Structure formats: C-alpha cells, structure tokens
Amino acid sequence: MVKLLSNFYEFECNLFRSVNRHFDRKYVNFFFRNFTHVGGATFTICSLLLLIIFSNHSLKYTAMAAGLSLALSHIPVAIAKKLYPRRRPYLALEAIKVATNPLKDHSFPSGHTTAVFSSTIPFILYMPPLAFVLIPVALSVGVSRIYLGLHYPSDVAVGMVLGTSTGILSYMMVVPLFS
C-alpha cells in the first residue's frame, strides 16, 4: 500500500510539474491568473445573487440550487482542510513557479474548483447544452489552480467530485420544490 501511494504521489508531482512548467508563458499566464477568479468567492457569490435577483421562474430556482450547492460544498472542503493539512505544492516541492503573495492555507481540496463545479452543475442540469460552455470554464479554473502552483491534481479532482455531487443533489432538492 505504501508503494502504491508513493507511486501515485510521484505520478501526481510529475503531472503537476508538466502543467506548472508553462508558468512563464506570457499569454497563458495572463489567462490563468485572471480566469482562476471565476472559481473565487466574489465571482461565484455575486453571479449567483444577480441571477437570483434578476431572473424568473426556472432560471431563478436553478440559481438558488447553485447557491445552496456552493454553500453546502464548502462544508466538506473546510473539514478536509482541517483534517488533512496538505501543504501547497509550491511549499512542498522544489523549483515550483508561483505568483507573488500565494495562498498559505492547506491545499486539499481545491476550494476554487469545488466552487465552480458546484455552481455550474445545476445550470448544466437545467439546460444540458450549457455543458459545452460551462464544463470547459470549470475545467479551466481547475487547471489554473495547478498552473499557478497552488494545488496538486488530486486537490482539483476532489474539488470536481465535491462540486459536482453537491450540484446534482442541490438541483434535485431545490428545483422540484418550485416546479
């Protein structure tokens, strides 16, 4: 079991480095440094509040489900960060490229990735063709977290699972109440 975990960690570090090594590319750097904020608290909360306030009927209820999902999904994130205090890659690995003033809290799981998936999945369930836009958006936020040196791939993968599962559950709980 120890050998398996060691091999996984080595694979994960190699995958992390293969993404992070592109940090010095001007346009990619500009894109990911800015796009990562789509998964941040300010963007997700403000976007959902605007949709709740200014939309009608099904879209409003979907935005409410997304807001519930966003709130619920961060309970396991907060618990995991306390129970599993994993150091961020730029603190644990050598020669990692990272922006100035990086986050200092624990890396597991990725809160930005959890947020973007938890708030987009209800909209994909509401209107499946939105998946062609929202899934690349959510995946880009996840990749940005690795690119910026802040998260391992497994941090992002767990954030995707948490966000997706709470998004599905919240949509299934909220939307039938108003239909």
Local structure of residue 24 (DSSP, 8 states): T
Amino acid at 108: F
Residue 109 preceded by cis peptide, ω within 30:
yes
Q: pLDDT-derived band of residue 170, with 50, 70 and 90 as boundaries?
A: very high
Residue-averaged pLDDT of the chain: 92
Task: Say how far residue 123 (Cα) sits from the centre of its chain.
Answer: 16
Q: What pLDDT, on a 0 to 100 scale, did the predictor assign at position 105?
A: 85
Residue 120 has pLDDT above 70, yes or no: yes
Who contacts 88 (Cβ-Cβ below 8 Å, separation ≥6)? 102, 103, 104, 106, 107, 149, 150, 151
* pLDDT, tens digit (0-9, with 9 covering 90-100), for 87-104: 999 888 888 888 877 777
Q: What pLDDT, on a 0 to 100 scale, did the predictor assign at position 74?
A: 94
Q: Which residue carries 């949509």 as its tokens?
A: 171
The answer to whether the beta carbons of residues 56 and 132 sit under 8 Å apart is no
φ, ψ dihedrals at 30, nearest 5°: -60, -45
Can you tell me the distance from the alpha carbon of 46 to that of 51, in angstroms, rounded to the nearest whole number?
9
Q: What pLDDT, on a 0 to 100 scale, did the predictor assign at position 45?
A: 95
Who contacts 80 (Cβ-Cβ below 8 Å, separation ≥6)? 108, 109, 158
* pLDDT, tens digit (0-9, with 9 covering 90-100), for 1-28: 888 888 999 999 999 999 988 888 889 8
Residue 179 has pLDDT above 70, yes or no: no
On the CB side of 80, how many CA atoms lie within 13 Å of its CA? 18
* pLDDT, tens digit (0-9, with 9 covering 90-100), for 123-166: 999 999 999 999 999 999 999 999 999 999 999 999 999 999 99
